[in-house]
Amino acid sequence: MKKTNNGPIADPGRTNQIKNGTTMTGDFLSQNDARIDGKIIGNLIVEGRIIVGESGQIEGNITCDVCDIEGLVEGNLQIKETLTLKSKARYTGDIVSKRLIIEPGAVFNGSCRMSNEIKASPKKTEEK
């Protein structure tokens, strides 16, 4: 695993990808990085980096180490290290993150709380 100033980066060969033109409904859990260029309706929990590409759309909450958003996201974010809203990003929701970078042109509607301690996401429990 490599490390940059913005946090760890996994081996590019181990990055999960949801391509443009793909729609996924349901929660997405991964121990590897993820790049989203399609649409996800559900929550994302990733141990690593999430990149939401310019064509990417997410309707749900995101929990990860590092997050770069270029597309459209609606939901709450819990980012352990750095969240970057790129110039074409459109984000609506509440943020909890250690660091926040907002590039000129990005749209952010919601609230932000800076915190060094992001709680681990709750484990999913099975219904009986």
Residue 118 lies in a domain: no
Cα–Cα distance, 20 to 26 (Å, whole number): 17
Residue 76 lies in a domain: yes
Task: Quickly tell me which residue has 């590092």 as its tokens.
Answer: 66
8 Å CB contact between 95 and 75? no
Residue 2 lies in a domain: no
| Number of domains the chain contains | 1
Q: Exposed, middle or buried by CB within 10 Å (0-12, 13-18, 19+), for 104?
A: exposed
Residue 68 lies in a domain: yes
pLDDT of residue 78: 98
Q: What is the pTM of this model?
A: 0.82
Interval 31-47: pLDDT, tens: 999 999 999 999 999 99
Interval 41-96: pLDDT, tens: 999 999 999 999 999 999 999 999 999 999 999 999 999 999 999 999 999 999 99
Residue 86 lies in a domain: yes
**Does pLDDT of 17 surpass 60?**
yes
